[in-house]
Amino acid sequence: MKTFIKRRWVLGLIAFAITAGSYAQWSNPAEDVPAYHPSAPLKVSSLPPILAGDKLSGENFQFPWQVHVYQQAAKIGNVLYQLPCNCRCDRALGHTSLRSCYEGLHGTECSTCAKEELFAYAQTRLGKTPAQIRAAIARHEYESIDLEKE
């Protein structure tokens, strides 16, 4: 009986090692891009609204940058729809793009989302396309933004 149990453990460990090895071989962290949409939405009216107006007050909006990012997000919602969010809220919260962060309160509590939005707004104003902004976000160019100066 002990030999049978020992063989099962050995076979189980071998199967685990083969599975883990094959996964590592085929996974590529460079291709692990957070969720985004490759093009603008066909119908903006079908998307949840970005928080605005009197919803930009209360305990979740204690700092000026929190209100500011939502106000800007409302102006470039189509661009944000086409951008990933590097905080990985797609995994944790089911977000489908950076725009999703501003349809609820997530954008108030996440500095990554806020910096990416501020970066996207500035780049949009400079005439950059969503694809160009996506590439810059992938290079983490947004990280130098100081939220306290906004």
Tens digits of residue pLDDT in 67-115? 999 999 999 999 999 999 888 988 888 888 999 999 999 999 999 999 9
Residue pLDDT, tens place only, 6-24: 566 555 455 444 444 434 3
Please give the pLDDT value at position 16. Answer: 47
Cα–Cα distance between 10 and 135 in angstroms, integer? 46
Q: Are 86 and 116 in contact (CB under 8 A)?
A: yes
Q: Write down the pTM of the prediction.
A: 0.77
